Amino acid sequence: MGRFTFYGSPSVFQIWKGECGYIFPIFMFVKISPFKQIGLGLMHLFYPRLCEGCNKPLVAGEELLCVGCAVELPETNYHNISDNESALRFAGRIPFQYATTLAYFTNDGLLQHLLHGLKYKGKQEIGYYLGRRLGLGLRETDWIASVDLIIPVPLHITKQNSRGFNQSKLIADGIASVTNQPVSEGMLTRVRNTETQTHKTRTERVNNMQDAFTITAPGTLTNKHILLCDDVLTTGATLEACALALLAAEGVKISIATIGIAV
């Protein structure tokens, strides 16, 4: 899938973060040719883009979420906190450098709604948008520059074929669009189609995930700092299994970034 074009400003989020101040309307017109601008305007007149949060029509400069919903996403700001809850979930289980999460995932919350649209309604642009927002936080850290490549948690080929895409790959692409590291899809593969994890305890999940992943070319990962990314962190069993597979390569360092953390 090609990357989605974010017309105009880098994101509404950045505007609210004060990075663009009030110049974004000018930026929009500079970045998009007049003909494209007119074409988009006409298209949106007949087919208005709707906010994925509240279903209201989006206005110029808004992407995917209206400004109200964009600021409503319950961000964790974990990228500014080294001993955050995401890091604590992996502490003592695997050697890792950093762990962070974009937002809190709660039942019936905005993030659950968005991720449901991504995974079960095929709204792939949501994955890219959320990855981009995660990337904007990562870009503020002093460690992201040391990351060599971003690896999304892979789906088993059977599941990927039935869904048509891997949501974690879209998230990785969104992160990479901000942080500029390469995304690698083929180096970590899922060799076992594990049963559903939903009703398992943490121990059962870890046992269920053992040996579910493998690396294809260990030599190419030697001494690399890898950013593993996924949609939601619950017990961390899946990410732990991925990290253990990657750590089989010599000198590998792992950091972890997820869109949501179940609380």
CB 86 within 8 A of CB 261: yes
- Nearest CB to Zn ion, comparing residues 53 and 174: 53
Shortest distance, position 72 Cβ to Zn ion, whole Å: 8
* The dihedral sign for the CA sequence 227, 232, 234, 237: negative
- Tell me which amino acid residue 89 is: R
Shortest distance, position 259 Cβ to Zn ion, whole Å: 18
Among candidates 1, 8, 3, 4, which has minimal Cα distance to 40? Answer: 8
Helix, strand, or coil (residue 151)? strand
- Nearest CB to Zn ion, comparing residues 66 and 237: 66
Shortest distance, position 110 Cβ to Zn ion, whole Å: 9
- Residues near Zn ion (CB under 5 A) are 51, 53-54, 66, 69
CB 190 within 8 A of CB 152: no
- Nearest CB to Zn ion, comparing residues 69 and 130: 69
Q: What is the dihedral of CA 54, 129, 244, 192, to 10 degrees?
A: 70
Alpha carbons within 13 A on the beta-carbon side of 220: 8
Shortest distance, position 69 Cβ to Zn ion, whole Å: 3
- Nearest CB to Zn ion, comparing residues 51 and 246: 51
Shortest distance, position 40 Cβ to Zn ion, whole Å: 20
- Nearest CB to Zn ion, comparing residues 64 and 246: 64
What is d(CA 147, CA 183) in angstroms, rounded to the nearest whole number? 11
What is d(CA 165, CA 231) in angstroms, rounded to the nearest whole number? 13
Please list the residues that pair with 10 across neighbouring strands.
none
- Tell me which amino acid residue 185 is: E
Shortest distance, position 58 Cβ to Zn ion, whole Å: 8
- Nearest CB to Zn ion, comparing residues 69 and 209: 69
Shortest distance, position 74 Cβ to Zn ion, whole Å: 15
CB 61 within 8 A of CB 219: no
Among candidates 83, 56, 85, which has minimal Cα distance to 69? Answer: 56
- Nearest CB to Zn ion, comparing residues 66 and 241: 66
